[in-house]
Structure formats: structure tokens, C-alpha cells
Amino acid sequence: MVKVFEDYFSELQSDMVAVCLEYFNHIIDYIYIYCSYETNVYVFDVFFNINGQVVHKHQLNKIINNSNNEHVIYDDSRERQRAMLGIGNKNLQLIHKKCEEFNREMPTEIKLYYDVTQKSLRAEYKYELIYSNDDTLLPEHIFDQWYEEVKNEVEK
């Protein structure tokens, strides 16, 4: 069976989720993946919901405890974070290549929501410029804004 664009697109998004799951050894409840492509710049970042707490990738060891309330240490080193982000960024570049190959428009923004317990993935796509037409706005501002929105919703 010949693969179509949607097959490649789905596989690459699934791989983004898989690398994030591997980073935290499958102990998370939800994964929130942010991808951006504007003005030839690729951005990939992620945050998580663990036991009702929304956290950045470097905050894992601040909230995870095992059943005996002993602190469990996970490898959230900068090297490991960079490796995860690098793989996600590479997948975003591959999505762009597939969009070009199949003559499809590349999204300027992709937000992925993955429910670990339900094993369900939901995505939102934008195609208009988000930050590159603004002199003060950067992709990390958009990511941080989304993080705060989710955190306020989950932890209210």
C-alpha cells in the first residue's frame, strides 16, 4: 500500500509524542507539544501534566515521588532535554519536507495534545504568521503563553 501525505504527517507527529514519552519514562498524564515554523526557523518545545501539575521539561524531579514519598531522580539533564528537543525539531523539519514533497502548505504552528492514559492525540494547526510580523514577539513567548493558559486551566 502506498503511503499518502497524511500517513507521513501522522507518523512524524506520533514520533514526537514517542520521544516525549521516552524522556519521562511514561510517568506523565498529558503531553503538550508546541511546533512552529516561520521565516525558516523551526521551533519545538514541550511541557507536561503530571498528577494534575503542569510542568516544564526541566521540572520533573521537583514533583515526582514514588509511592513511599521518597524522591525519585529522573534524568532531566540539559543534554537529555537537548536530545529530545533535537529529535522533535528534526521531525518538524521532516514534516516540512513532506509538505513540500506533496505540495501542501506547511503549518506555521502545530499544537499537539496527547492524553497518555487514553492514548489519544489531538492537534491544532495554524497557517498564518504568529510572531514574525511582530518586532517584540518570539516563539518562546507564544510557547510560554500556551503553558500559562494550560496551567491556569488544569490547576484552577
For 41-53, what is each residue's pLDDT tens digit?
Answer: 999 999 999 888 8
Give the predicted TM-score (pTM) of the model: 0.91
Report CA dihedral (137, 141, 125, 13) to the nearest 10 degrees.
130
Measured CA to CA, the distance from residue 89 to residue 22 in angstroms comes to: 16
**Looking at residue 64, what is its pLDDT?**
63
141's CB contacts (< 8 A; 6+ apart) are 131
**Looking at residue 68, what is its pLDDT?**
39
For 55-96, what is each residue's pLDDT tens digit?
Answer: 998 887 777 654 335 556 777 889 999 999 999 999 999 999
Measured CA to CA, the distance from residue 51 to residue 24 in angstroms comes to: 13
Q: Which of the four pLDDT bands, split at 50, 70 and 90, describes residue 26?
A: low
For 91-121, what is each residue's pLDDT tens digit?
Answer: 999 999 999 999 999 999 999 999 999 999 9
Domains of the chain: 5-154 (3.30.500.20)
Grid cell locating 66: 514514588
Instruction: Look over the chain and give the mean of its residue pLDDT values, rounded to a whole number.
Output: 90
At 74, is the secondary structure helix, strand, or coil? coil
**Looking at residue 125, what is its pLDDT?**
97
110-129: b (≥16 Cβ within 10 Å) or e? bbbbbebeeeebeeeeeeee
